[in-house]
Amino acid sequence: AQTVTQSQPEMSVQEAETVTLSCTYDTSESDYYLFWYKQPPSRQMILVIRQEAYKQQNATENRFSVNFQKAAKSFSLKISDSQLGDAAMYFCAYRSTIKIQGAQKLVFGQGTRLTINP
């Protein structure tokens, strides 16, 4: 079974600085998808970014980018020019391409709580 590990329970960064959140995963599959979700205090789960394992190019979404190292099974999230609104719990998630009776579930990490210092 796949596992996802976020080794940093908490991180903090000064506003306008850059921060990197770590995520590693374990799988024997060669094709899969990886996601970062953000959960602010409002408790909504918001998709931040998605990466397909077969793509070598790292995904980017405005100030958010990933460093995807397939051989190392690492999928870190970089937030540039941190803003107060970035304060949230961040979850890394893995999704297999193999469907079980047509469905694919997500495997989540434990989350990293990010604090932005003004």
Partner 1 sequence: DAGVIQSPRHEVTEMGQEVTLRCKPISGHNSLFWYRQTMMRGLELLIYFNNNVPIDDSGMPEDRFSAKMPNASFSTLKIQPSEPRDSAVYFCASSSTRGGQPQHFGDGTRLSIL
- The C-alpha atoms of residue 49 and residue 34 are separated, in whole angstroms, by 8
The DSSP-derived string for 91-113 is EEEEEES--BTTB--EEE---EE
Select 55 or 63, whichever has its Cβ closest to partner 1.
55
Least distance to partner 1 from the beta carbon of 65, Å?
17
User: Minimal distance in Å, beta carbon 35 to partner 1?
Assistant: 6
Query: Is residue 110 at the binding interface for partner 1, with CB under 8 A as the rule?
Result: yes
Phi, psi of 86 (to 5 degrees): -80, -10
- The structure tokens listed for 33 are 């998808």
Binding site for partner 1 (CB under 8 A): 33, 35, 37, 42-47, 50, 52, 91, 95, 97, 99-106, 108, 110-111
